[in-house]
Structure 1
Amino acid sequence: MIILLIWVVVLIAVVVLYLKQVYSTFSRHGIKHFKPVPILGNMGKVVFRQHHYACDFINLYNSFPEERFVGRFEFLTESVMIRDIELVKKITVKDFEHFLDHRTFGENTFFARTLFFLKGQEWKDMRSTLSPVFTSSKIRLMVPFMVEVGDQMILSLKKKIKDSEGGYVDIECKDLTTRYANDVIASCAFGLKVDSHTDEDNQFYAMGKTATTFNFRQMLMFFLLINAPQLVKFFKYDMISEPIKKFFRSLVLDTMKDRDLHNVIRPDMIHLLMEAKKGQLSHEDVKPNDEAAGFATVEESAVGQKDLNRVWKDDDLVAQAFLFFVAGFESISSTMTFLLYELAVNPEVQERLAKEVREYDNNNGGKFDFNSIQNMTYMDMVVSELLRRWPPAVAMDRMCNKDYNMGKPNEKAEKDFILRKGCGIQIPTFAFHHDPKFFPNPEKFDPERFSEENKHKINPLAYMPFGFGPRNCIGSRFALCELKVMTYQILRHMELSPCERTCIPAQLATDNLNLRLKGGHWLRFRLRM
C-alpha cells in the first residue's frame, strides 16, 4: 500500500512538473496570456460551453490592448495570437515562406489531402492546379445552375406560404440555406440535379449533413486532431467516416469515367478537375477591375498563377471535390443564414436592397445572369458588411516552419521574442472585425461602411473575411457570387421579418464550433407585394 502511494505521489509530481514546463514559455519571455488550467489550457470556457469559440478570441484580444501579440494555450499546445495588423501582413505576405502551412490535421487522413491542409510544395502545386477553376469566366458559366436551384427554393417557399393559414411561414433558415447550398454544390460541382426542398432526405443531402454536423463531441475531436496529431496517427482516427469517403470517391470517379466514356462536357467543377488532371486548365489574368470582384474579393497570388504539369492521383482530386462540398455545404450556408437574419432585423436595409433588386429586374426584363448581380452597388455593400459582422472563419492559423523573430511584444519590452519552429500562430479575424478602432460601433450592421464615400476609411489590413496572402480562400469569387444570387432571388419574391422565435439581440450558441444563433435561425417569410 505504501509503495503504491509512493508511486502515485511520484506520478502526480511528474505530471505537475511537466505541466509547469509546458505552461511556462510565455511567462519566461514576458508574453501576456491568461493563466492556463491544467490539461485544458485556456480552453475551459469553450469546453464547458460557457461561451463561443469566437468570444474566446475577442476576450483575449480585448484584455491586452497594449500588446502586439499574446499567448494562448489550446489544451497543452501553445500558440501566439497576433493583435498587430502590420504584423499580420508581414506574416501572411512578406514572410509567407516562414508560415507556409496550416496546423497538421492528422497525417494520412482524408482531410489532410485537401488543399486547406496540404503542406509545402504539395500545397503550392495543388493551389496552382486549382486556381484556374475559380476565375470569373468559369463562375459565370455556373450562375444558371445557381439560379435553377434558387427557383426550386422559391417554388417550395411559395407552396408553404400558400398552404399556411396566415399568409406567412416561419422558417429555420439554417435548414433552408443548407438545402440551397447543398443543391448548388451538387449542380455546380458534381453535375447532379437535386431538389432538397422537395426530396428532403435525398442521399446527397443526407451524406452532406452527416459529414458537416459539428456537435460537441466532434468539436472536441477536432481539437484533438489539431493539437495531438501523434495520438491521431497512433489510433488511425479520421473525422470522415468510411461510408462518406466511399460515397464521394464513387461519385467523383464514376462521374469522371462516365463523362470520359460518353464525351460529356458540362461547365462544372468535375469537368474542371478532369481538365486539371490532364493539365489543360490555363491561368487567366485577373484584371484590377475584374467584374466579379466585390470589396471582399481576394486576389490570387503568384503562387496560384504558376503553370504546372504535375499529375495528381485520383484520391487527391476526390479530396479537393470533397473540400469544395464541405465549404459550399457548411461555410456558405452559414454565411447566408446570417445575411437573411440581418436583413430581417434591419428592415431599412432590406427595403433598400429589395428596391435595387426590383430596379435591376425591371431594367433587364426579368432576365437574370452573372452581370445582374456584379453591378449591384448596394448588394455588394450589404454582403461586404455581412462578412465583416459574421466572417466565415473565426480565426486563421499558421505554423511556423523555421525560427522567426516576432519583435517586441509591446513598447516596454526589452527583448524580441523568437517564435520557434513548430509553434502555431492565430490571427483573430472575428476580433479584428469587431474592434471599434477599425470599425466604429462594430455590433451595428451598417452597409454604409462600404459605400463609395466611406470605404476608403477602412483599413484593408483589418478586413479579412477570406484571409490574407497566398494562402487566402481560393473560392472567394464563387462564395460571393452564390451569396448574391440567393439574396437576389429571395428578395425578388419574399419579405423577411423576425418572428417569436428569432434571437434578438444576436447571441451565439455555445454548443457548436461553427457560428450559430442561440435557439436557431428562425425568420418569417411573406410574399413580397
Structure 2
Amino acid sequence: MITFGLLAVLLLLAWLWQRWHFGHWQRLGVPHAPGAPFVGNVWRLLRGWCCFGDQFRELYECPSAKGQAYVGIHVLHNHALLLREPALIKRILVEDFGQFSSRFETTDAIGDTMGAQNLFFSKYEMWRETHKIFAPFFAAGKVRHMFGLLQQIGQQLEQHMARQLAACGTPEGTLELEVKQLSALFSTDIIASLAFGLEANCLQQPDAEFRRMCIEVNEPRPKRLLHLFTMFFFPRFSRQLRTHLYSEEYERFMRQSMNWVMEQRAASGEQRHDLIDIFLQLQRTQPPESVVHRRDFFVAQAAFLLLAGFDTSSSTITFALYELAKQPAIQQRLRQELATALLGSGAADGQLDYETLSGLPYLRQVVDEVLRLYPPTAFLDRCCNAKAGYDLSAWSCGSALRLPPGTPVYISVLGLHRDEQYWPQPLKFDPERFSPEQRVQHQPMTYLPFGAGPRGCLGTLLGLLEIKVGLVYILKNYRVETCARTLPEMKFDAKAFVLTAAGGTYLRFVQDPL
C-alpha cells in the first residue's frame, strides 16, 4: 500500500513538472506549437513516423505559427525556437552570426576526435580556424581543377549502365533500375576519388569496401542510435556518455585508408588536384600550433565529406530523375539543351568541358528546382552563445523576449521551400521558378538548400558540379520514364538525417543517345 502511494505521488509530481516545464512558452506569451506530454514536439520523429525534415516542416506549418516570425517548440526537454520570418533568419545566420556561431548538437570533444573536428560539428573556435584553412580550396578555381576526376567517374557511370543494359538483354534497349543505388555508387566513387585519392570502384563492384562503409555508417544500431540521440537532444551529456559520431569499424577504416594514401602520395609526389594534395600541402605549410597537426584532423574532414557528400548528392540526383520521369516535357527540353551543347564547340568526344557544363542555363534551373523541392539539409540549427542572451523584442508579438544562452533555434528549410507565400503552387516541380526573370524576384533567405552565412556549406560548388555531371552522363544516353514500381508520390526515409527517398525509387531507362 505504501509502495502504491509513493508511486502515485511520483507520477503526480512528474505530471505536474511536465505541465510546468512544457508551459514555458505560454507563460512568456510566445506563440507555440502544442506538444505531447514529456516529449514535446518531436513525438512523430521519435516514433519513426517521419524524418527530421518533415517534423520541422509540420511545426513550421502548424496553425499557431501562421503569420508569426517565430514559434516556440520543445525538442524533448529543450526549450527552442523555430524561426519563420526571412528577415529574422538573416539576422541569426548572417548579421548576428557571432551570437549564433555554433550548432546545438555536440559530440565528445575529447574522446571523439574524428566527430568533433569536422566542419559541421566543430564548435566556433575550432570551426573558425578550419574554415579559414579550407575555404580557398573549395573556391571556383580549385573546383575547376577537380572536374577531370569527376569526368572520369562520369564515364565509368556510362560504362556501368551499358553493362546493366547488356545484362538485361531486352531487345527494345530498356532497363529498370533502383535509382538511389545507382546514384550512390556514382557519388561514392567521386568522394573516394576526391577525398582519398583512391579508386573505390563501386560502379564496377557494388559491394566494394567503400560502398559497404557508406552503408555501415548509417546502420541504425542501438549503440549508434543512443550516441546520436544524446548528441542531438542531450548534447551536454555527450562527454559523460563518450559519444561517437561514427562506429568503431568506420573510424578504423577511415584512419587506415587516410594514413595509407597520404604516405603513398607523399612518397610518389603525384599531383591529382584532390583533397589529399591539399592535406599534404597544409602539413608542410601550417605552423606547429595549427589545428592541422592535431590527431585525426585530416581523417575527420575526409570521413565527414564521405558521409555527407555521397548521401546528399546521390539523393539529389535521385529526386531529379524522379521528377524528370514524371515531367516528360521538362526532360525533353533539358535533353535538347544537352544535345545542342554536345554538338557545339565546347564538346569533344561526347564530353562537355567545364565552362560549357557550368553555363547550361536550363540544367541549372532544373537542379535549383530539385533543391527547392527536396533540400538535402531540410533543417538548420544554431545555438545562442551570447553571454547576455539575445534580444528578440523587435520580433516579439507583444511581450519582450530575451533568448537565454544555450537556447537552440531551428530553421525549417523544407518549410520555407514549400511555403506558398514565397513559392506559388509549392509542390509543383517547375524549373521556370529559376529563370533569370523569376530569380531576381525571389525574397532573400527563402531559398537555403546549402544554408547561409559563414556556416553555410563550404562545398556548394563541388556538390552542384557533382550533381550536374551525374545527370549529364545519364541523360545524354537515356530517357527516363516511370514504371509500374514507381511511387506516385515521393516519400522520405524516416531514419535518414538528410532528406532521402524511402524504399526504392524505380525508373525505366530507355536507351536514346543524343
Whether 1:491 aligns to 2:472 is no
Q: Is the 8 A contact 2:107 2:245 kept in 1?
A: no
Q: Which residue type is aligned with residue 79 of structure 2?
A: E
Letter in 2 for 1:48: R
Cα shift at 1:138: 1.4
Whether contact under 8 Å (1:408, 1:414) holds in the other structure is: no
Relative to structure 1, is the Cα distance of residues 129 and 44 closer, same or farther in structure 2, using a 3 angstrom cutoff?
A: same
Task: Please give the alpha-carbon distance, in whole angstroms, between the structure 2 residues aligned to 1:266 and 1:508.
Answer: 37
Aligned position for 2:198: 192
Q: Does 1:258 align with 2:242?
A: no
Aligned mate of 2:120, from 91, 105, 116 = 116
What is aligned with 1:157? 161
Asked if 2 retains the 8 angstrom alpha-carbon contact of 1:497 and 1:525, the reply is: yes
2:393 corresponds in structure 1 to 407
CA distance 1:224–1:489, shift in 2 (3 Å): same
Contact preservation (8 Å) 1:501, 1:519 = no
Deviation at 1:217, TM superposition (A): 8.7
Report the counterpart of residue 338 of structure 2 in structure 1: 357
Aligned length: 500
DSSP-derived class of the 2:105 partner: coil
The equivalent of 1:320 in structure 2 is: 301
Aligned positions of 1:95-114 closer than 5 A: 95-108=96-109, 109=112, 110-114=114-118
Q: Distance in 1 between matches of 2:52 and 2:126?
A: 31
Q: Is the Cα contact below 8 Å between 1:214 and 1:513 reproduced in 2?
A: no
Structure 1 CA distance for aligned equivalents of residues 137 and 218 of structure 2: 23
- State the superposition RMSD in angstroms: 2.2
Say whether the 8 Å CA contact 1:46–1:53 is kept in structure 2. yes
Cα distance change of structure 1 residues 217 and 466 upon mapping to structure 2, 3 Å threshold: same
Shift of 1:218: 5.6
8 Å Cα contact 1:503/1:517 also seen in 2: no
Q: Give the alignment's TM-score, normalised by structure 1.
A: 0.90
Q: 1:269-280 residue pairs with structure 2 within 5 A?
A: 269-279=275-285
* Cα distance change of structure 1 residues 32 and 309 upon mapping to structure 2, 3 Å threshold: same
- Which segments of 5 or more consecutive residues in structure 1 lack a partner in the other structure? 282-307
Q: Quick check: 1:129 aligned with 2:110?
A: no
What SS does the aligned partner of 1:212 have?
coil
1:44-66 CA distances to partner (integer Å, 9 max, x unpaired)? 12222344433322222222212
Query: How far, CA to CA, are the matches of 1:509 and 1:129 in structure 2?
Result: 35
Amino acid at match of 1:406: L
- Distance in 2, Cα, partners of 1:349 & 1:95: 41
For residue 513 of structure 1, report the CA deviation from its aligned partner. 4.0
Q: Distance in 2 between matches of 1:71 and 1:216?
A: 31
Q: Deviations over 1:214-233 (max 9, x none)?
A: 58996675333211124443
Percent sequence identity is 29
- 2:364 aligned partner: 380
Q: Which residue number corresponds to residue 93 of structure 1? A: 94
**Pairing 1:502–2:483 present:** no
Which segment drifts farther, 177-186 or 227-236? Answer: 227-236
1:339 partnered with 2:320: yes
Amino acid at match of 1:321: A
Question: CA 1:314–1:231 in 2, change beyond 3 Å: closer, same or farther?
Answer: closer
- 1:501 alignment partner AA: R
C-alpha separation in 2, matches of 1:479 and 1:211 = 21
2:52 matches 1:67: no
CA distance in 2, matches of 1:233, 1:500: 50
Q: Secondary structure at the match of 1:523?
A: strand
Aligned to 2:243: 237
Which secondary structure does the structure 2 equivalent of 1:496 belong to? strand
CA distance in structure 1 between the partners assigned to 2:475 and 2:469 by the alignment: 10
Quote the offset at 1:438 in angstroms: 0.7
Tell me what 1:294 maps to.
none
Question: Which deviates the most, 323-332 or 5-14?
Answer: 5-14
Structure 2 distance, partners of 1:332, 1:57, is 22
**TM-score normalised to structure 2 length:** 0.92
Using the TM superposition, give the Cα deviation of residue 75 of structure 1 relative to its aligned residue in structure 2, in angstroms: 1.3
- Distance, in Å, in 1 between the alignment partners of 2:222 and 2:425 is 32
What's 2:377 paired with?
393
Q: Helix, strand or coil: the match of 1:180?
A: helix
Match of 1:46 in 2: 45
Name the aligned partner's letter for residue 148 of structure 1. Q
Measured against aligned partners, the alpha-carbon deviations of 1:153-178 in whole angstroms (never above 9, x if no partner) come to 21121122223243311111111111
Q: CA deviation at 1:205?
A: 1.3
Moved over 6 A (4+): none
Among residues 368, 376, 383, which one is paired with 2:352 in the alignment?
368
Looking at structure 1, the residues matched to 405 and 33 of structure 2 have their Cα atoms a distance apart, in angstroms, of 23
